[in-house]
């Protein structure tokens, strides 16, 4: 393999990981600004213009806080929990196609780290490991609230993962591939999956909320019952890892929703405007980030609009509400496909 | 570059970022010792009994159900990738499988396993 290609890939990997961190940092500001907007107040506006330096100040504050460990905690697992959560949140960005290809000096470079033919399964595998991070952290804290929070989180995440994977199966049925790049390519020209898979999209969207532990599914950390849930005993950067990984997961989920159902980097009249190849790619990436921003806003919008579920409601909704819909959607898609596409 | 080495690079970069985060925090953070600080954070009173306590058996039932369904969903993925080539025969055979899956859910539903109380 040539050095040019390897160098490009390494730059791409580092850039994407740093970008995820930056997006996570500024999502915290966006979250508070959106909250301010919904509650008719300003939100943070003291640090820098429009509060743009607020995430930097918050990050510094997290670094400067005392590294604290409860006396009875399991020392190794206590550190491993947040580190694992953060690591898997960063890993899931590897298979998402962030754009088409760039042609630099006559060579084609893909804006995707690894185009593997099991991309969707990879994301699922990595997301499932995220449960361990929360479970380990909550258990190792040696705190009743943390344990309750982590058990709730694990139970909730595995319950909603089922309906989520079943809604993905229907996407795989219509595209015939597990590669995310292939799924995005097939949607080009506004053949977005959301038009053919509306039920699957709704199921996937709801499950994405549950998987990221966002309101109205934020039971694992509901502060009125469990103090802080699984991160009650955490401080400093270890707490920061849990908070950051939530925002990174939100970012990755939005990117997944955009790629699976909204054509990824596809935008209207993509190949009909007579633009150069690189220009189309850059505009495609911009379109993808526009979609991600929209879904990020949707995440926040719903957080400040809907009240939190009760635990029995959450379980009833996941198993008795979403599961039958997901299974029915799968069967229906199979029959529709046989009837109309053959 | 094979995809395995790419994933390894992502993995290592991730580890570097995580370790850097932890390391910088250890370097910058102030330290102080207080016996009371090490106690579990609860309402202010000393914790009663051990914190690694028993929890509701309902969680266990959901975990078992999840295991069942997750293994079965994995079987659906290979079928879904080639459903176009299989035609009606493939659809009916997987339908049989999905009916069994649905029966499992219906059985758990009937047995009130899905009811949280």
What's the pLDDT band for A159 if we cut at 50, 70, 90?
A: confident
pLDDT tens, position by position, A191-233: 888 888 888 899 999 998 888 888 788 877 776 777 777 888 8
Separation CA A20–CA A289 (nearest Å):
12
Tokens for A283, please give them.
Answer: 């505009």
Whether the CB of B17 is below 8 Å from some CB of chain A: the reply is yes
Whether the CB of B7 is below 8 Å from some CB of chain A: the reply is yes
Residues of A in contact with B93 (CB under 8 A): none
Of B17, B21, B53, the CB nearest to A144: B53
Q: Is the pLDDT of residue B1 over 70?
A: no
More confident residue, A100 or A285: A285
Whether the CB of A316 is below 8 Å from some CB of chain B: the reply is yes
Whether the CB of A180 is below 8 Å from some CB of chain B: the reply is no
What's the pLDDT band for A1 if we cut at 50, 70, 90?
A: low
Whether the CB of B78 is below 8 Å from some CB of chain A: the reply is no
Share of chain A above pLDDT 90, in %: 3
Tokens for A164, please give them.
Answer: 């989520």
More confident residue, A210 or A267: A210
Q: Is the pLDDT of residue A342 over 60?
A: no
Residues of A in contact with B20 (CB under 8 A): none
Whether the CB of A336 is below 8 Å from some CB of chain B: the reply is no
What was the pLDDT predicted at A230?
82
Whether the CB of A6 is below 8 Å from some CB of chain B: the reply is yes
> What is the sign of the dihedral through the CA atoms of B64, A203, A194 and B7?
negative
Whether the CB of A144 is below 8 Å from some CB of chain B: the reply is yes
> Could A65 and B29 be called an inter-chain contact, meaning their C-beta atoms sit closer than 8 Å?
yes
What was the pLDDT predicted at B25?
84
pLDDT tens, position by position, A62-110: 888 888 788 777 888 888 888 998 898 888 888 888 877 777 777 777 7
What's the pLDDT band for A341 if we cut at 50, 70, 90?
A: low
Indicate the Cα dihedral angle B72, B74, B77, B83, nearest 10°: -30
Q: Which residue reads 């997961």 in tokens?
A: A249
Of B30, B77, B84, the CB nearest to A121: B77
> What is the sign of the dihedral through the CA atoms of A33, A295, A122 and A112?
negative
Tokens for A89, please give them.
Answer: 């949140």
DSSP helix/strand/coil, A104: strand
Query: Domain B3-110 maps to which CATH number in 1.20.1280, 3.40.1350, 1.20.58, 1.10.287?
Result: 1.20.58
What was the pLDDT predicted at A106?
73
Of B63, B77, B101, the CB nearest to A178: B77
- CB–CB of A47/A53 below 8 Å? yes
What was the pLDDT predicted at B80?
84
Whether the CB of B62 is below 8 Å from some CB of chain A: the reply is yes
Of A145, A312, A334, the CB nearest to B83: A334
Residues of A in contact with B28 (CB under 8 A): 63-64
User: What's the whole-number mean pLDDT along residues A113-141?
Assistant: 85
Residues of B in contact with A323 (CB under 8 A): 105
User: What's the whole-number mean pLDDT along residues A314-331?
Assistant: 86
Whether the CB of A236 is below 8 Å from some CB of chain B: the reply is yes
Q: Where are the alpha helices (DSSP H) in A218-310?
A: 223-226, 236-261, 277-303
pLDDT tens, position by position, B90-110: 888 888 888 888 888 888 888
Of A83, A155, A316, the CB nearest to B18: A83
CB pairs under 8 A between A and B: 197
What's the pLDDT band for A321 if we cut at 50, 70, 90?
A: confident
- CB–CB of A43/A54 below 8 Å? no
Tokens for A336, please give them.
Answer: 């529709």
Whether the CB of B45 is below 8 Å from some CB of chain A: the reply is no
* Residue A108, phi then psi, degrees to nearest 5: -100, 125
Separation CA A93–CA A113 (nearest Å):
8
Parse chain B into domains and list their residue ranges: 3-110
pLDDT tens, position by position, B41-87: 777 777 777 777 777 777 888 888 888 888 888 888 888 888 877 77
A contact test, residue of B77, B105, B115 with most A CBs within 10 A? B77
Separation CA A235–CA A133 (nearest Å):
16
User: What's the whole-number mean pLDDT along residues A32-47?
Assistant: 86
> Could B62 and A178 be called an inter-chain contact, meaning their C-beta atoms sit closer than 8 Å?
no
Mean pLDDT score of chain A: 84
């Amino acid at each position: 393999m040539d050095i040019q290609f390897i160098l490009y890939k390494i730059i791409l990997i580092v850039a994407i990981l740093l970008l995820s961190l930056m997006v996570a940092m500024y999502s915290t500001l966006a979250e508070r600004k959106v909250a301010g907007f919904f509650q008719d107040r300003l939100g943070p506006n003291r640090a820098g213009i429009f509060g743009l330096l607020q995430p930097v100040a918050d990050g510094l504050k997290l670094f400067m806080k005392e590294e604290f460990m409860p006396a009875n905690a399991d020392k190794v697992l206590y550190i491993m929990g947040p580190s694992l959560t953060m690591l898997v949140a960063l890993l899931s960005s590897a298979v998402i196609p962030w754009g088409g290809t760039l042609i630099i000096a006559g060579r084609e470079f893909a804006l995707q780290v690894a185009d593997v033919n099991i991309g969707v399964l990879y994301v699922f595998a990595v997301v499932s490991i995220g449960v361990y991070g929360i479970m380990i952290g909550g258990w190792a804290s040696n705190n009743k609230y943390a344990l309750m929070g982590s058990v709730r989180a694990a139970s909730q995440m595995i319950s909603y993962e089922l309906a989520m994977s079943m809604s993905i199966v229907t996407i795989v049925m219509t595209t015939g591939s597990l590669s995310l790049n292939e799924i995005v390519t097939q949607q080009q020209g506004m053949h977005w999956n959301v038009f053919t898979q509306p039920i699957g999209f709704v199921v996937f969207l709801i499950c994405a909320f549950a998987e990221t532990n966002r309101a109205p599914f934020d039971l694992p950390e509901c502060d009125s019952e469990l103090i802080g849930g699984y991160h009650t005993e955490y401080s400093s950067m270890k707490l920061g890892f849990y908070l950051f990984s939530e925002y990174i997961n939100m970012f990755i989920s939005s990117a997944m929703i955009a790629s699976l159902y909204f054509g990824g980097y596809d935008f209207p009249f993509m190949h009909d405007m007579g633009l150069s190849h690189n220009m189309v790619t850059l505009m495609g990436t911009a379109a993808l980030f526009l979609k991600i921003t929209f879904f990020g806003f949707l995440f926040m919008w719903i957080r400040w609009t809907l009240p939190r579920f009760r635990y029995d409601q959450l379980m009833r909704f996941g198993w008795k509400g979403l599961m039958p819909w997901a299974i029915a959607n799968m069967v229906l898609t199979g029959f529709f496909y046989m009837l109309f596409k053959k | 570059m094979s995809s395995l080495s790419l994933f390894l690079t992502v993995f290592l970069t991730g580890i570097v970022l995580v370790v850097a985060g932890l390391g910088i925090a250890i370097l910058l953070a102030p330290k102080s010792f207080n016996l009371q600080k090490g106690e579990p954070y609860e309402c202010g009173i000393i914790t009663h009994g051990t914190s690694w306590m028993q929890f509701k058996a309902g969680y266990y039932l959901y975990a078992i159900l999840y295991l069942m369904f997750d293994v079965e969903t994995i079987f659906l993925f290979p079928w879904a990738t080639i459903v176009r080539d299989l035609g009606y025969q493939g659809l009916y055979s997987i339908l049989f499988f999905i009916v069994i899956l649905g029966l499992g859910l219906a059985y758990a539903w009937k047995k009130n396993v899905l009811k949280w109380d």
